[in-house]
Amino acid sequence: MAVTVKGMGVAWGITTSGYTYTGSATALNVKTTEQSLTKDAEMVEIKDANGEAAGLVFFNPTSEVTLRVYPFHASSLSSAATAAAALPAVGDKFVITDASDASLAGDYVVMRVGKTRSAGAQVEFDLTVKKWATDLSATIS
């Protein structure tokens, strides 16, 4: 579908170009329908002699991405059913590539996964991945 913008320019759509993870497959063959990014950090208030906040210290920054995707496979229905079973595991390294949005790209750790099946729609995965200032995605052996 071609997109025509008139009047006011706005960012539209999803830009993420790919996902890989360290589980049973190296590429998650999905189409993204929704993504959200949350940046967070721990915080401590520094108080003065009267107990009033006089300063703030932020530390341990994190980025968390929540994705809703559906698996797809163009060659056959049985291949699509196999793809619908290929959820990443909690703890897997999960890499997001995105040439258009550097705030999303990076090495994450899978924190939460879910799968939804219904009679009237395709299988959907809900994934929550997280990254820290220090890369914690590598597996220690």
pTM over 0.85? The answer is no
Nearest to 57 by CA among 40, 41, 39, 45: 45
- Could you say which architecture CATH assigns to the domain 18-132? Beta Barrel (2.40)
Domain ranges of the chain: 18-132
Mean pLDDT of 85-98: 84
Q: Shortest CA distance to 41 belongs to which of 136, 137, 131?
A: 131
119-128 pLDDT tens trace = 888 888 899 9
Residue 17, pLDDT score: 66
Q: How many CA atoms lie within 13 A of 75 on its CB side?
A: 5
Compare 80 and 25 and report the one with higher pLDDT. Answer: 80
Q: What is the pLDDT of residues 14-70, one digit of tens each?
A: 766 677 777 654 567 778 888 899 999 999 999 999 999 999 999 999 999 999 988
- Scanning the chain, the segments in alpha helix (DSSP H) are 77-83
Instruction: Identify whether the C-beta of residue 113 lies closer than 8 Å to the C-beta of residue 42.
Output: no
